[in-house]
Structure 1
């Protein structure tokens, strides 16, 4: 065997043999060879063969030889990467780093190329620089292993994240630097930086802030605004960052004229109110875009599903004005040919169709399709609801509405143990089916037991008792309450109830209810409560009553758990009709309003009110039906159910009141941990207030009468966690104006209950 270059004469290749292969298949080599069997070759082909095989990156050495008329290619393979070990990484996850290495050619199982080590370090530095760690140190080590393999070890010393020391804006005249920096998420270190991380510089964050600055000017008429330069410098120790942004504001352009152009399928009187800009005002790109979107939405609601609306500004550089023309292309009016349901293997089609607000053969409406999807999501039967509107083939004015759902188990069998400071250990068992046999009807049985009460319930609800959405429900329950365990008072009750109720939908977010229930109450007065004994002497200890109920509920929250926007309001009234053993009524209001301050912060306004009184032969509201305040659900920082009037005896037990007023303000935020806790953990800072009052004359209770000066206040921090084994809520509260008789409780928590 001799080297091919040593033979000066050409020859015809009778065969090709490859030697030295270990992992790479011979077919792979043949695919890259510029020579095939039957070709006539000479010494000039050697360089081409070696060049072709080297370019694959698979080999460290390639030799071409000749043995008779056989072309022999001898190769020495590069080692394969057996494993990649990354140590020292804390701020960046290993899978993110390995993906970055794979992008530059280094991954387990691939051929190792020593020339990419420099690129590896550069890629890792790029990722760390992007997160603000400019002092990162990276060292790579390659260790040979058996069977021509190597192990790559990358040691990372992340160093400290560079902190912003200063941001300067140069060239601003219309707005102060302080006002402009409010548009930046980046900023100097402050007391919230540990949470917001606003002082951790990164190139991506700065790009976002510069775009926010540009939008701020463009939305205020500075159409020719430009960012002329951005300089970022770092201190020698790579710990401090300095940013300087130079801008050219340009002049303010004002709106000179507003016009509509195109095909007017909707009267202009309906379109102009949707344009929220006025002549003489500074031109705003944001307002123009939002106005075009509103016009497009209106056209979509009128059946023009593919309407196109563009706001085109025409500049007058000399007059510094803008004439805005909204060009409208409505397209053809679109009708819905067919609505189909997919994925509902258990739920009947009619259950879905009765929630649809978009109807077949009607004009297509984007708003009705949106409302249909929201109503399907609120059913709680589906994990996902998707609605697509493909065009009908061969038709320019028809679409199909395809509803695809992913069902989730609608039945629930639950048995658990919980604990709260007011009720102690709670045993609960419930069997419920929210979508019984796929009909949308709800059936439930529940049993709860704690030291304060035991509760049994059997309930049935048909949400579509009528085709118009009027619901009908039945409820049978039995509850025993030991007030001695609840508030320390020496009396207890056994209450059996059978109820029927109807609910009428007034809109997609509101319902009105009417109900009736029969209630049997047995009252047990202890020997240590003169208040209870007097009540039995005046009214007896067994009562059969018939109640009428009225309710009104509005729920526009974006989520039933951890809402960030919307309102929940409910009004409820019940009255024992004449002829009942006890004649009284109760009215209550509960309100929750959620306002998103930013993407992460939400403020909640809460209020609860209640009033009750007797009539006819019953002089006052039975005191065991009183309202209570204090505790995790009302005024935190005070022991549950202990605020307000007390029985005037040696035990001084709280008795509640016939008037209740509680409320509060709470700021919610997700945890800084992020990740899987983003949707299951919520932090809060709150201010609570409230109390209850006894307004009837009594020598056995004090104080009596209504006085807003009796309101109690508290402030503190809260944590709510939807843990895998149950809901947990914790609060640390400080009472702001506790009186001597108040029972304070700074730390409060409950587990295994809704909150």
Structure 2
């Protein structure tokens, strides 16, 4: 009769077994786990001498696999029996009651920690997951949230895991106190914070919900505010966050010590400045006699590093060291610099371009491989890539080359945005009723950097089909080529209706020649035919022109233009100037004229959040010789892109029939104060703005009189949406005249400033 001895190893105790030679090993209790997994984990084999230490090691190893709920070793004669009880596997993970988080996101987070379909169930892991869920809800200010984990056994040793969540109401910030502030009022300091006690946009921004990350960010904002105003020794002594017993309201208290206000008495340069001390001194933003300003000190430090970089010193060390005199509350700012070694660029790498070809980005680079590092060229390269308009974000980072102290790799990181767009426009007026426009544009066709566009306007009075293509690098030297083919059938707004039309058909070819990094000159020619189709209520000006020159006019206008663009971004500029000048000269065909249009835009950063934007546009046209200026080349004004608040294209001279016929002279001035939309996060293209517009259109014989200008003020929203640039404006005319057509609310996708 064989005796079976059960060995249970736990809590440092065991039943001793006399060592013996193992003749056979059996495994019992396996359901899904392969026997080979167990055999491979055992520290002994058939024929080995078994002892208690090996048994303890075997049990620890098998438990460590995480596959078994229980493991025992039994000895039957010289046969060792491994008895296991497998953990149940997870059949399904479900979340009940979750509204704040998407269930698929929660399932993925559970999968990352090991709780997923088909994996062994671990009670300890489920408990940690439950606590992690509660922590995530606390981060959303849902302090009353409760999570209950239910384990339901099902067939084949499996379990269903259910997290039942009761979210409750979020805790709102009741009050924020800043104790110790004397130099500035508490309300002024609280207005700096992203966290607040609630407002009309809190439902969207969730600014009244406490999170530790937001509070830390607000503390840094507060510290920066003081440091930029001379309080060099400002510090936050403590932070208290108290929650009410019902977990529905939160009180935040910051205890601060302001310290004394320090004034800069002098700025001194120390170290090696390459013999260009005067050049570096001109870069110092902070001046003696001003309060110490940490922002200006950081700006100066960056300017010094950038200037060193322009000489090839990519590893320059610049330290701003304040020497404080507490008896006089004055500071000597010492700029310590060590240019270190000069470096050259080994490689230029591109990352993040999932669609755009490398060459489209590389051809904008002015920092070349195997050449000296030049900080100015790297910045210019970044700006040129950003101005392509194909990317949400563009960044450049410099990486050391291991084993080569005088080499760096430059990597440009981009985040693609949708370069294709469907643009829609809609409007309503007493003349046109509902008007629609539609276009499909691909700014970066197939990742090649080429532009393709199809524009269709289905307005009752303005119909158009335009096909355009632009190759920005028609030659390797950067000469661009654009081709336009168009058919337009239009007529001015007319309250009495009418079925006459002005039909223009043509095609144009234009080349752009870069004369500098910022300047491009354009040369082009076109061939077009314009037909006045008579009908009811046709303007008398059209009939007069047709009577003298015929109902059909052909023209072959030559064009020359210039543009200069040094904006920091085309998507959402905050600094820089953009200018363009276009002139058209009709010297061949029936229509003889000259037409010039000039636009000037400037963006001035007021603060990190606010940008002041100017836009000015002027147009002028004149007939050549004895020919009058063609009425079908007139300028129009009013609406988005012009003077907002007035119906699109309704400003300027009118015919005796009441039709708006435009004019050969116009000017428009727009001013905007732009700021990020609250809660927009990293989307820099979503902006709110307040604006003031002035402008008008004048006839050939009319003088440009400022007392006849129209003006409006208002607010609006702009966004580079997935379907194109969106502008929404509400305007109130502040200077209008009898007969002006007012349209306070205007909306369009696909328009610009």
Structure 2 residue aligned with 1:624: 632
- Tell me if structure 2 keeps the 8 A contact 1:142–1:150: yes
How has the CA–CA distance of structure 1 residues 266 and 71 changed in structure 2, closer, same or farther, with 3 Å as cutoff? farther
Q: Does 1:653 align with 2:662?
A: no
SS at match of 1:742: coil
Helix, strand or coil: the match of 1:647? coil
Displacement, 1:302?
Answer: 0.7
Change (3 A) 1:488 1:244: same
Instruction: Give unmatched runs, 5+ long, in structure 1.
Output: 699-703
Query: How many angstroms does 1:586 deviate by?
Result: 3.0
Q: CA deviation at 1:504?
A: 4.1
The answer to whether the 8 A contact 2:566-2:576 is kept is yes
Deviations 1:611-652 (A, max 9, x none): 33446424x533332222234443455443233332224xx2
Equivalence for 1:90: 99
Distance 1:357 1:602 in 2: 29
**How far apart are residue 325 of structure 1 and its match?**
3.4
Q: How does 1:668-707 map to 2 (within 5 A)?
A: 682=686, 684=688, 687=691, 689-690=693-694, 692-696=696-700, 706-707=705-706
Segments of 5+ residues of structure 2 without an aligned counterpart are 8-13
1:165 and 2:196 aligned: no
Judging changes above 3 Å, is the alpha-carbon distance between structure 1 residues 367 and 58 closer, same or farther for their aligned structure 2 residues? Answer: same
- Cα distance change, pair 331–539 in 1 and its aligned pair in 2 (3 A): same
Q: After superposition, where does 1:372-383 map in structure 2 within 5 Å?
A: 372-376=381-385, 378=387
1:202–1:538 CA distance, 2 compared to 1 (3 A): same
After the TM superposition, which residues 225-240 of structure 1 pair with which residues of structure 2 at under 5 Å, given as runs? 225-240=234-249
Q: CA deviation at 1:708?
A: 3.4
- In 2, Cα distance between equivalents of 1:458 and 1:513: 16
Give the Cα separation in 1 of the matches to 2:16 and 2:365.
86
Number of residue pairs aligned between Structure 1 and Structure 2: 737
Assess, with a 3 A threshold, how the Cα gap between structure 1 residues 132 and 294 changes in structure 2: closer, same or farther.
same
1:456-605 equivalences in 2 (<5 Å): 463=473, 467=477, 469=478, 479-483=488-492, 488=497, 491-495=500-504, 497=506, 501-515=510-524, 517=526, 520-526=529-535, 528=537, 529-545=539-555, 547-561=557-571, 566-577=576-587, 582-594=591-603, 604-605=613-614
How far is 1:161 from its partner? 1.8
C-alpha distance after superposition, 1:289-342 (max 9, x if no partner): 332221111111111122222223444556655444333222332345787999
- 1:549-583 CA-to-partner distances (Å, cap 9, x unmatched) read 44332334455445565543323333445x87555
| Superposed displacement of residue 542, structure 1 | 4.5
Residue 32 (structure 2) aligned to one of 23, 28, 37: 23
Whether the 8 Å CA contact 2:713–2:734 is kept in 1: the answer is yes
CA distance in structure 1 between the partners assigned to 2:264 and 2:369 by the alignment: 43
Residue equivalent to 2:143: 134
Q: Could you say which residue in structure 1 is the equivalent of 2:373?
A: 364
The question of whether the paired residues in 1 share the 8 Å contact of 2:235 and 2:258 is answered with yes
Structure 1 pair 342–668 and aligned structure 2 pair: CA distance change class (3 A):
closer
3-state SS of paired residue (1:270) = helix
Q: Tell me which of 213, 220, 230 is aligned to 2:222.
A: 213
- Determine the C-alpha separation between the residues in 2 that align with 1:40 and 1:633: 91
Residue 741 (structure 1) aligned with residue 743 (structure 2)? no
- The alpha-carbon deviation at position 85 of structure 1 amounts to 0.8
Pairing of 1:40-59 with structure 2 (within 5 A): 53=62, 58-59=67-68
Match of 1:643 among 651, 670, 673: 651
The CA deviation at 1:142 is 1.2
Cα 1:152–1:536 change in 2 (3 A) is: same
Alpha-carbon spacing, 1:546–1:644, altered in 2? closer, same or farther (3 Å): same
Query: Structure 1 residues 74, 603: closer, same or farther in 2, change over 3 A?
Result: farther
Instruction: Determine if contact 1:658/1:692 at 8 Å carries over to the other structure.
Output: no
Distance (Å, rounded) in 2 between the aligned partners of 1:717 and 1:346: 33
Could you tell me which residue of structure 2 aligns to residue 708 of structure 1? 707
Sort the Cα spacing of 1:691 and 1:489 in 2 relative to 1 into closer, same or farther, 3 A: farther
Q: Conserved in 1, the CA contact under 8 Å of 2:504 and 2:529?
A: yes
Instruction: Calculate the TM-score normalised by the size of structure 2.
Output: 0.80
Pairwise CA distance, 1:209: 1.3
For normalisation by structure 1, the TM-score amounts to 0.80
Aligned-residue RMSD, C-alpha: 4.8
In 2 relative to 1, CA 727–10 (structure 1 residues): closer, same or farther, beyond 3 Å?
same
| More moved, 203-212 vs 416-425 | 416-425
1:119-138 CA-partner distances (Å, limit 9, x unpaired): 33322221111121112122
Q: Which moved more, 1:320-329 or 1:15-24?
A: 320-329
Relative distance call for 1:99 and 1:320 in structure 2 (3 A) is: farther
3-state SS, counterpart of residue 242 of structure 1: strand
